[in-house]
A and B are shown apart, each in its own frame.
Chain A
Amino acid sequence: MRRLTEELQARGLEADLVTIPLIERERFDLIRSALAWRSLDLTEVGNRKVDAVIATRFPSYAVKHPNKVVWIIHQYRQAYDQFGTPWSDFTSSAEDRRTRETIAAIDRLGLSEARRIFANSKTVAARLARHNGIASEPLYHPPPLVGRYRTGPFGDYALTVGRLDGWKRPDLPLRALAHAPEARLVVVGRGPEEERLKRLARDLGVESRVRWVSRAGEEALLDLYAGARIVVVAPQGEDLGYVPLEAFLSGKPVLTTDDAGGPLEFVIDGETGFVVPPRPDALGAALSRAWEREDALAALGHRGRERASRLSWDETIGRLLSAAGLSLP
């Protein structure tokens, strides 16, 4: 949200970013964090009226302000759709049940006070409707380095970018390599799964075709996108995901799965990329096609680029300000 603040400031608005860390050592910490936000009345700061607040993450939307717009970027998914999966540590204990109920109450309170509610994707809006019974409007925004992505010739590697965390399914592109003997993979990211994934690559016999990039600076990342053959997006139930948009703005098609969530709002099978079942053989077959049909990749990437280029901060900020009854100076 630093970027949103900067974009508002660049348009002549006085905007400040307010953050409070979300502490998660024990369950009550979540409630404490919500209480910290609730205790903040941002109607006035330093004897100056604050015209509006835009809240984006759990539990910041518990903040008090008469002109509050919520743009949901992050809900506490462990209490909702991730409950009962390996990605949530909530159990069926009494305290966990009460914590989940209270998280839902915090969401209800914070969102019911909002003048208008946006979600950062259709996927997030649908989840909000399903779990909280709250309607919201999808509102996209461009990826972080918009204006700097560049195209380049199709290289000899598929690219995957993201935290190496279990729920992001970083093993899937590696397993796909075993079914696509001509393909190579560059993995950008780090996380708790890194060592396990490196062992997996050895066990699968694909180690020599994988390059690991734990940290990539902005320029290095732009180069990697520009030189990729295709970008693989493997997470399940992603909110939105910047990676497909970054790939498209670099002129590259995206290979993703039919349970990817947000990426499917942009990745259309045969139009801007490939959408396959979340199985290594299916991803591997798509990778092989990408290696055989370079001519088709350009057309897919081009259409993706057209689509992603329509996203702009002008549009996003215009809608947020209009929802708050404000306009640009």
Chain B
Amino acid sequence: MSADPEALRRLARESGRHLGELGVRPEDSRWIREHAETIASLTRRARSPGFLVYLRRLALTAARKAR
């Protein structure tokens, strides 16, 4: 069993928005990367660099919009 990719995308967007509300900025790249890694760890694709970058971009975009 692996997490539904659409659920992970939603999680990345929602939590990215929350991070933005909490004051995390796009330039806090290490924090956003770590956060994307946490979400990615919910799936077997956790080790896929492409998927991680994708989640990171979703979280980053959401955080930027939330500010």
Contact = CB atoms under 8 A, between A and B. Distances in A.
Interface of A: 28, 31-32, 34-35, 38-39, 62, 95, 98, 101-102, 104-106, 108-109
B28 A38 contact: no
Contacts of A108: 23
A34 B35 CA distance: 13
A31 B22 contact: yes
Nearest to B19: A35
Interface size class of B (residues with CB under 8 A): 10 to 19
Nearest to B32: A28
A28 B30 CA distance: 9
Interface of B: 14-15, 18-19, 21-25, 28, 30-31, 34-35, 38
Contacts of B34: 28
B57 to A, nearest CB: 18
B18 A31 contact: no
Contact of B14 (A39, A98, A104, A105): A39
Contacts of B18: 35, 38-39
Contacts of B22: 31, 34-35, 38, 62, 102, 105-106, 109
User: Per DSSP, are chain B's interface residues mostly helix, strand or loop, or mixed?
Assistant: helix
B24 A102 contact: yes
Closest 4 CB pairs of A and B: A105-B23, A102-B23, A38-B18, A28-B31
B21 A31 contact: no
A82 B15 CA distance: 30
A98 B28 contact: yes
Contact of B23 (A32, A39, A95, A109): A109
A12 B61 CA distance: 46
Contacts of A39: 14-15, 18
Contact of A35 (B15, B25, B28, B30): B15
A276 B7 CA distance: 61
Nearest to B25: A98
Contacts of B19: 31, 35
Contacts of B38: 32
A131 to B, nearest CB: 15
12 contacts: A31-B24, A35-B18, A35-B35, A38-B22, A39-B18, A98-B28, A105-B22, A105-B23, A106-B22, A108-B23, A109-B21, A109-B22
Given A35-B18, A39-B15, A39-B18, A106 B31 contact: no
A95 B34 CA distance: 14
A203 B18 CA distance: 54
A286 B64 CA distance: 58
Given A28-B34, A98-B28, A106 B23 contact: yes
Given A31-B19, A38-B21, 17 more contacts: A31-B22, A32-B35, A35-B18, A35-B19, A35-B22, A38-B18, A38-B22, A39-B14, A39-B15, A95-B30, A98-B25, A98-B28, A101-B23, A102-B22, A102-B28, A105-B22, A109-B23
A95 B57 CA distance: 21
> Which of B14, B25, B31, B38 has its CB near the most chain A CB atoms (within 10 A)?
B31
Nearest to B27: A98
